[in-house]
Amino acid sequence: MKISVILAHPNPGSFNHAIGAAVIQALGENRHDIVYHDLYAERFNPVLPFEEIPRGALLDPVIQAHCAEIAAAEGIVVIHPDWWGQPPAILKGWVDRVLRPGVAYRFLEGDRGEGVPVGLLKAKAALVFKHLQHPPGAGDGGLWRPARAALEGLHLLALRCSRHPQADVLRCGDEHG
Q: Summarize pLDDT for 64-111 with one digit per residue, the tens.
A: 999 999 999 999 999 999 888 889 999 999 999 999 999 999 888 777
Q: Where are the alpha helices (DSSP H) in the chain?
A: 15-29, 61-72, 89-98, 144-150
**Residue 59 to residue 67: CA distance in whole angstroms:** 10
Fold of 2-176: Rossmann fold (3.40.50)
pLDDT greater at residue 147 or residue 16:
16
- Distance (Å) of CA 117 to CA 57, 59, 111, 123: 20, 22, 9, 16
